Amino acid sequence: MDDMINQLQNKGISPEKLAMLMEFVGKSKNKSPQDYLPFFMMAAQKASSSGMDFNDDETNLILETMMPNMTAEDKRKIASMRNLANIIARKSNRGKN
């Protein structure tokens, strides 16, 4: 997880987002790999409710950094969610044309 923070710093993520991620990383250290995905979803919801959104690149970097420690089932769930998000985004973009 510390590697994730370094990657995000190098990508120029805002200090506020970085602080929230540092809190997330600290709390996730006691989690087992099968608990990463539910914990990530809870942290994302907390960020959103506080008015902080992560763009697609930031979210992808976070997920890609976490994936090596996830179970195969959680990796499949992430892939399914990404596919669904892409489908929704494409349909949304078509409606704007």
pLDDT in tens, 42-52: 888 888 888 88
pLDDT band at 1 (very low <50, low <70, confident <90, very high): low
Report helix, strand or coil for 59.
helix
Distant-in-sequence, close-in-space partners of 3: CB < 8 Å, separation ≥ 6: 65
Q: Over the stretch 56-97, which tens digit does the pLDDT of each residue have?
A: 777 777 777 677 777 888 888 888 888 888 888 788 777 665
Q: What is the pLDDT of residues 53-65, one digit of tens each?
A: 877 777 777 777 6
Helix (H, G, I), strand (E, B) or coil at 1: coil
Q: What is the mean pLDDT of residues 3-15?
A: 73
The amino acid present at 88, given as its one-letter code, is I
